[in-house]
Chain A
């Protein structure tokens, strides 16, 4: 009893003392943090609070936190707006189709790269497959336009087979395939890095033991490689699913490729936010739409990360 009460008295003083010693010992490290912390407050947290203008009317040149309460007016406005729902639906369709094809293809590609025996050839394939990841979206979309243009190679093939040239980027039904195929071209190679890393961590003695037990090559892939990289597969899949509603990642590409003729399939939430806000000057309305998407995204990503931690003891961040 008595030792307990003595401890209780001593704790605060000791804590304070320890705190000062801690700062004294680490002040240079804390000094390093000064600029980054100010940066995060100004460029990351201030805009977060700037979302308040979804509930307040913003006037160009006025306070960044708006000038007049407007309650849920802007939220009601977009909930009743057909073009918002069209953008919302398009975002889901685009993200889902892309994920559906990209995810298995990336995994298969990684498994196939892992089977290459010649190390120089393996490295060459990897280097080539990473290339599109580093190319500016402007160039990627520029090339897509060149390839799909009326005198481009795709239409040349169609014409040579007796077909008629098509304006692919002006026809709504082609947008999702164009986005998906070019996206796979861009990201399939880069996406293999984490899988290949996980595969290189597999203990070779597992394969040898399996071979001794008479397992053929494909059985070894099926019973050793895939189970060993399962945590990586699960984590990446869950997090990808968590990102299905977000449209920020697709913004640049859609923005560079779409035009009013194909809004019906190509307009996504982030491009809609851009046109409503910066295009037409309805800042508060556009912020309300962006905030809505951001909050759904926050909930989904948090749940996805939580789920990933539960299921595989691993997560991305």
Chain B
């Protein structure tokens, strides 16, 4: 049925639209600013002429960054870490989440608190650092990936999803002669595309954006692009002599290129992660 509307409400709808436009503009402004800088000439940027529209428009910066600079080397490292890390994370997180979702499994009584407790209390920065160094992982890809490989929060989101898959399908699979592992691979996983897509995005973003593990453990040739960016951003500060100095347009261009893959991907997975967050968000 049609709900009653009055003038006050119509005014509200207009105001609401204006608020939404303002919020969207404010959200996008920093990105447009970066893109404008990356397309402008260094001279115009230094004179403070560039805000939203590129001045001295050119694509030279992009061509330079992609073909000449060191940027691409670090970018490749990031791709490698993200692919390897996300694969391991997905495999082991689902191998933990699936058993946790099975109430009939006796061990879940102990396992659930064992896993959840780590959300309340952790080792802290120093013991974690000492552990990684003691394991001999310094300056290896493992030092970058392992400390964050399984996220308890993500495991719980997956667990909620697995728990909502229909039990009779699993039973039907077993009647058809699949063993427990087969049921997981052949029946549960194909039904779990939304959560797998969500977790792929979340874990990939986590690895793609991480810089702190690199800062702690990796030497320069192994840096991911996020930490290279941090280094050139520091170089722009007046009081940081040992960081790299690069021109503003190169810096902006590097930031744009680093954020770009994520910006291109996340809108397409939106309906999945909204669903995933809904299921696992607040426990009744």
A and B together in one complex = yes
Cβ–Cβ contact B211 & A135, under 8 A: no
Residues of A within 8 A of B124 (CB): 47, 51, 273, 287, 290-291, 294
The chain B residue sitting closest to A208, CB to CB, is B1
List residues of B whose CB falls within 8 A of some A CB: 1, 3-6, 8-9, 12-13, 16-17, 19-20, 23-24, 26-28, 30-31, 33-34, 37, 46, 48, 51, 92-93, 95-96, 98-99, 102, 105-107, 111, 114-116, 118-131, 134, 146-147, 149-150, 156, 179-181, 184, 205, 208-212, 216, 226-227, 229-230, 233, 236-237, 239, 248, 251-252, 255, 258-259, 262-263, 266-267, 270, 274, 277-278, 281-284
Cβ–Cβ contact A53 & B126, under 8 A: yes
Cβ–Cβ contact B19 & A44, under 8 A: no
Chain A CB within 10 A, most for which of B17, B226, B282: B282
Chain B binder among A25-33, A75-83, A86-94, A172-180: A25-33
Cβ–Cβ contact A40 & B27, under 8 A: no
- Of the four ranges (under 10, 10 to 19, 20 to 34, 35 or more), the interface on chain A belongs to 35 or more
Residues of A within 8 A of B239 (CB): 259
Chain B binder among A6-14, A96-104, A138-146: A138-146
A3 within 8 A of B: no
The chain B residue sitting closest to A108, CB to CB, is B19
Residues of B within 8 A of A197 (CB): 274, 277-278, 281
Binary contact readout A30-43 vs B (1 if CB under 8 angstroms, 0 otherwise)? 11110111011011
Cβ–Cβ contact A64 & B33, under 8 A: no
Cβ–Cβ contact A235 & B126, under 8 A: no
Pick the 6 closest A-B CB pairs, nearest first. Answer: A47-B123, A50-B127, A136-B209, A290-B124, A36-B96, A197-B278
The chain B residue sitting closest to A39, CB to CB, is B150
Say how far A218's CB is from chain B's closest CB, in angstroms: 8
Cβ–Cβ contact B95 & A35, under 8 A: yes
Please measure, in the bound complex, the distance between the C-alpha atom of A256 and the C-alpha atom of B215, giving whole angstroms.
12
Please measure, in the bound complex, the distance between the C-alpha atom of A181 and the C-alpha atom of B141, giving whole angstroms.
35
Chain B CB within 10 A, most for which of A26, A128, A317: A317
Chain A CB within 10 A, most for which of B30, B96, B255, B266: B30
Q: Which residue in B4, B92, B230, B237 is a CB contact (below 8 Å) of A138?
A: B230
Please measure, in the bound complex, the distance between the C-alpha atom of A36 and the C-alpha atom of B89, giving whole angstroms.
10
Main secondary structure of the interface of A (DSSP, over half): helix
Cβ–Cβ contact A40 & B122, under 8 A: no
Cβ–Cβ contact A151 & B48, under 8 A: yes
Q: Would you give 10 A-B contacts (Cβ < 8 Å), ordered by A?
A: A46-B123, A51-B124, A64-B134, A113-B20, A126-B270, A131-B263, A138-B226, A138-B230, A259-B239, A273-B125
Residues of A within 8 A of B237 (CB): 145, 259
Cβ–Cβ contact B130 & A64, under 8 A: yes
The chain B residue sitting closest to A313, CB to CB, is B284
A127 and B122 in contact, given A153-B33, A193-B274 (Cβ under 8 angstroms): no
A168 within 8 A of B: no
A119 within 8 A of B: no
Residues of A within 8 A of B23 (CB): 109, 125, 129
Cβ–Cβ contact A29 & B105, under 8 A: yes
Interface contacts (Cβ under 8 Å), in number, total 275
Residues of A within 8 A of B130 (CB): 47, 50, 53, 58, 64, 283
For residues 261 through 275 of chain A, which have their beta carbon under 8 Å from a beta carbon of chain B?
270, 273-274
Cβ–Cβ contact B180 & A26, under 8 A: yes
A139 and B258 in contact, given A302-B120, A316-B282 (Cβ under 8 angstroms): yes
Residues of A within 8 A of B251 (CB): 142
A298 within 8 A of B: yes
Cβ–Cβ contact B126 & A142, under 8 A: no
Q: Which residue in B20, B96, B212, B259 is a CB contact (below 8 Å) of A33?
A: B96
Say how far B25's CB is from chain A's closest CB, in angstroms: 9
The chain A residue sitting closest to B127, CB to CB, is A50
Please measure, in the bound complex, the distance between the C-alpha atom of A193 and the C-alpha atom of B67, giving whole angstroms.
40
A194 and B282 in contact, given A142-B233, A278-B125 (Cβ under 8 angstroms): yes
Cβ–Cβ contact B9 & A217, under 8 A: yes
Cβ–Cβ contact B180 & A138, under 8 A: no
A16 within 8 A of B: no
Please measure, in the bound complex, the distance between the C-alpha atom of A315 and the C-alpha atom of B131, giving whole angstroms.
32
A116 within 8 A of B: yes
Please measure, in the bound complex, the distance between the C-alpha atom of A137 and the C-alpha atom of B236, giving whole angstroms.
17
Residues of A within 8 A of B281 (CB): 193-194, 197, 316
Please measure, in the bound complex, the distance between the C-alpha atom of A35 and the C-alpha atom of B31, giving whole angstroms.
41
Q: Which residue in A47, A141, A189, A302 is a CB contact (below 8 Å) of B127?
A: A47
A297 and B121 in contact, given A36-B92, A40-B115, A116-B20 (Cβ under 8 angstroms): yes
Residues of B within 8 A of A109 (CB): 23
Cβ–Cβ contact B179 & A28, under 8 A: yes
Please measure, in the bound complex, the distance between the C-alpha atom of A167 and the C-alpha atom of B128, giving whole angstroms.
36
Residues of A within 8 A of B266 (CB): 130-131, 134
Binary contact readout A191-219 vs B (1 if CB under 8 angstroms, 0 otherwise)? 00110111010000001100100101110
Say how far B251's CB is from chain A's closest CB, in angstroms: 7
Please measure, in the bound complex, the distance between the C-alpha atom of A113 and the C-alpha atom of B266, giving whole angstroms.
19
A22 within 8 A of B: yes
Cβ–Cβ contact B212 & A40, under 8 A: no
Residues of A within 8 A of B258 (CB): 136, 139
A143 and B131 in contact, given A136-B209, A232-B282 (Cβ under 8 angstroms): no
Binary contact readout A101-124 vs B (1 if CB under 8 angstroms, 0 otherwise)? 000000001001101110001011
